[in-house]
Amino acid sequence: MASSTDAQLANTPQEKFALIKQNLQEVLNPEIIEEILNKNDRPLSIYWGTATTGKPHCGYFVPMLKIAEFLAAGCEVKILLADVHGFLDNLKAPIELVAERVKYYRYAITELLKAVQVDISRLVFVTGSDYQTSGEKGARYFMDLLRLSTSVSGHDATKAGSDVVKQTEAPPLSSQIYPLMQALDEEYLGVDAQFGGVDQRKIFTLAVEALPKIGFRKRAHLMNPLIPGLQEGGKMSSSDPDSKIDLIDEESVVRKKLKKAFCPPKQVDGNGVLSFVEYVLLPASAFKNNGTPKFVVERRDAEPLVYTGIADMKKDYAADVLSPQILKPAVTEALLEILAPIRKTFTESKEWQAVEQRAYPPPPAPEKKKKVKNLGSRFPGAKGGDGKENGAPVEAKPDGHVEGEGAQEVSVGRSTESAMENMSVQDGGKA
C-alpha cells in the first residue's frame, strides 16, 4: 500500500506506473497509461463508479485503498455515484429513494476514505444523473446512447452485463442499457482509464470495442481481484447480509458475523477472512506504520505472530500454525479499530442518520392479525373467500430493491413527472 514515502518515490513515469498496477489482477491497454505518464504534461485521469443500491460494506475498502495508490501516483480520481445505473439494475434503486441513497453513499464513502487516511480533497464526486439526464448535456448523452446502441448487439450487451447486472429468468431491457451507459460514462467523465473489479471485465471489453465505432477513443481499464465473502462460495454482496459487514454495523454485529464466518483450518483458497487481511487490513495498516504493513495475531501461551506480508500468513495458515481460533479475534479487533471512526461519525451525525432512515427505510413491523372464523362465502360482507384484505406493504431488501404491493410505482415513479423530478431531468430535481 502506498504511503507518503511511496508517494515521494513515485516520481518517474516507471515508478508511477508500477504503483498504479500494484496488486491489480489485470490491466487492459496499459500502453494508454504509459503514454500519458511518459508525456508528463497532465495527470492521468481515472474513474471508479458504484451503483447507489444496497448499503456500502467493508468490501468497499478494497477499491478505496487502491484509489489511495492512484492518488499517490499523482492521478486525478473521479468517483461516480451511479444512481441511474442502480435504477436500471433490475430496479435495485427505486426511483423514489435514489436521491437519498446518493446522499448516503457520499457520506459513507467519504468516511470510509477518511478511515484509511486518504486525502479526500483531491477526489471529485460526480452523480450520474447530473449529466446523464439533465439539461443540454443529458440530451447529448441520450443521443450518444442511441448511437452506441446501434453499434452493439442485444446479445453482446446482455453478455457484457452478465457478471454485474442482476440476472433473472426474463431480464428487463434495462439490463442491456446498463453496460452501454457504463461504457459511455468514460467519454462524458473525460477520463483516460476506468477502474473496477475483475467482474466488470466484459463491460470494459465492450467499451474498448464499441466507443471507437461512434468516434470516441478507447480507454485503459484497471481491475481489482474480487475478495471472497464471509460465507462459503461467494463474494461480499449487499444481497446477502451474512456475507458482508456494513460500515455502520454495531460492534456486537461485527463480532457475531466474523465469529460465524467461513474460515476452515488449513484452507487458504476461498477463505474470506484471510482474504480480508490480504486486501484490506494489511494495506490499511501501512498508513499507520510508515509504509510497512503489519498485522499482529495474539496467542494465549506464546509470543504473538507478527506479519508484514500475506505470503507468510498463508504459509502459516496452511501449516495450522495460524488457526481460525486465533485469526478471527485478531481480524475482529483490527476491523473494529478501522470502523470505529466511521461508526462514531454516524452516531454523532443526526443528518446522516436521517438520510439512512430515508434511503433504507426499515421494514414495517408485522401486523398482528386477528384469527378470522371461517363463516363460508354466503355470510353478509364476505370478501372473496380468501381472507385477504390489502397486499403486503412495500419493503426494502438488503440489496436495495423493494418488494410488496406498490413496488412497481415506487421503483419507476408514479408518473413521468415524478420520475423526471427524482432523476434530475428537470430543474430542481438534482440529488
Q: What's the CATH number where 321 sits? A: 1.10.240.10
Q: All 3 cell numbers of residue 351?
A: 443528518
Q: Where are the alpha helices (DSSP H) in 161-267?
A: 174-188, 201-210, 251-259
In whole angstroms, give the CA distance from residue 86 to residue 401: 9
Domain that holds residue 145: 4-224
Residue 251 is which amino acid?
E
> Of 348, 373, 407, which residue sits at a domain end?
348
Q: Does 343 fall in a domain?
A: yes
In whole angstroms, give the CA distance from residue 264 to residue 27: 32
Residue 48 is which amino acid?
W
Are 90 and 194 part of one and the same domain? yes
Are 80 and 209 part of one and the same domain? yes
Are 149 and 176 part of one and the same domain? yes
Are 254 and 203 part of one and the same domain? no
What is the tally of structural domains in the chain?
2
Are 51 and 194 part of one and the same domain? yes
Q: Does 163 fall in a domain?
A: yes
Q: Does 229 fall in a domain?
A: no
Q: Does 385 fall in a domain?
A: no
Asked whether 416 and 425 are in contact (CB, 8 A), the reply is: no
Determine the Cα angle at 133 with ends 127 and 134, to 5°.
85
Are 272 and 219 part of one and the same domain? no
In whole angstroms, give the CA distance from residue 401 to residue 124: 27
Instruction: Give the pLDDT of residue 220.
Output: 98
Are 37 and 99 part of one and the same domain? yes
Are 173 and 198 part of one and the same domain? yes
Are 57 and 144 part of one and the same domain? yes
Are 67 and 129 part of one and the same domain? yes
Are 77 and 161 part of one and the same domain? yes
CB neighbourhood size of 44 (10 A) = 23
Are 218 and 258 part of one and the same domain? no
* Residue whose cell numbers read 429513494: 97
Closest to 352 (Cα-Cα) out of 112, 3, 31, 12? 112
Q: Does 216 fall in a domain?
A: yes
CB neighbourhood size of 363 (10 A) = 12
Instruction: Give the pLDDT of residue 405.
Output: 65
Q: Does 303 fall in a domain?
A: yes
Per-residue pLDDT of the chain (431 residues; tens, 9 = 90+): 444 434 445 789 999 999 999 889 999 999 999 999 999 999 999 999 999 988 999 989 999 999 988 998 999 999 999 999 887 875 666 777 888 999 999 999 999 988 888 878 878 999 999 999 988 999 999 999 999 999 999 999 999 988 888 767 777 888 899 999 999 999 999 999 999 999 999 999 999 999 999 999 999 999 999 888 787 655 555 556 666 899 999 999 999 999 999 899 999 998 999 999 999 999 889 877 877 899 999 999 899 999 999 999 999 999 999 999 999 999 999 999 999 999 999 999 999 999 999 999 887 666 666 665 554 444 344 444 343 333 446 666 665 666 666 666 666 666 666 666 666 544 444 44
> Of 348, 382, 397, which residue sits at a domain end?
348
**Domain holding 87: CATH number?**
3.40.50.620
